[in-house]
Amino acid sequence: MTTKPIAPSGLAPRFWETKPLKAMSRAEWEALCDGCGKCCLNKLEDEDTGEVALTRIACRLFDDATCRCAQYEIRHQFVPECIVLEPKNLDKNLYWMPETCAYKLLHLGKPLYDWHPLISGDPDSVHRAGVSMQNATLPEFEIPEDEWEDHLIEEPV
């Protein structure tokens, strides 16, 4: 569920440190997304433990050159199961969310990393920090599902 990039201009400085997630405007909420692309990866869940592992097999709409959804506005026409994260559904989605995801960090009362574009002022800092999936995924239509476990990634990457 990568969100659409919005320039943080017009947002209050370090608003995420004082404003609860539930009180954020849509622009503030969307600006929290660091653009790592890890929520667009297919996951594998251990049936016994419920533990979730991320694979580098990306959703069919993920463009790993830009590290964004190629059809964000109309994605549900193609991927109806794509989850729309909101303050009210964060709790039930935490189990699969990447450890570095800004929404997860703030929900758990943790600070954002220095490489977060809201702090660095540079949307590419997430890529330079080696945290994103830019140029690092495989398309889901090329890899049979029974081979996904050969492509697990460690977190944080």
Determine phi and psi for 74, rounding to 5 degrees: -115, 20
Among 6, 44, 82, 152, indicate the residue that binds ligand SF4 (CB under 6 A): 82
User: Smallest distance from the beta carbon of 1 to ligand SF4, in angstroms?
Assistant: 5
Those residues whose C-beta lies under 8 Å from the C-beta of residue 9, and which sit 6 or more positions away, are none
Closest CB to ligand SF4 among 16 and 103?
A: 103
The sign of the CA dihedral 111, 116, 117, 120 is positive
Closest CB to ligand SF4 among 8 and 37?
A: 37
Q: Is 103 in the site for ligand SF4 (CB under 6 A)?
A: yes
Q: Are 86 and 23 in contact (CB under 8 A)?
A: no
- The rounded distance, in Å, linking the Cα atoms of 85 and 120 is 24
Place of tokens 């849509």: 26
* Binding region for ligand SF4 (CB under 6 A) out of 9-17, 45-53, 59-67, 134-142: 59-67
Residues that bind ligand SF4 (CB under 6 A): 1-2, 33-40, 59, 61-62, 69, 75, 79, 82, 98, 101-103
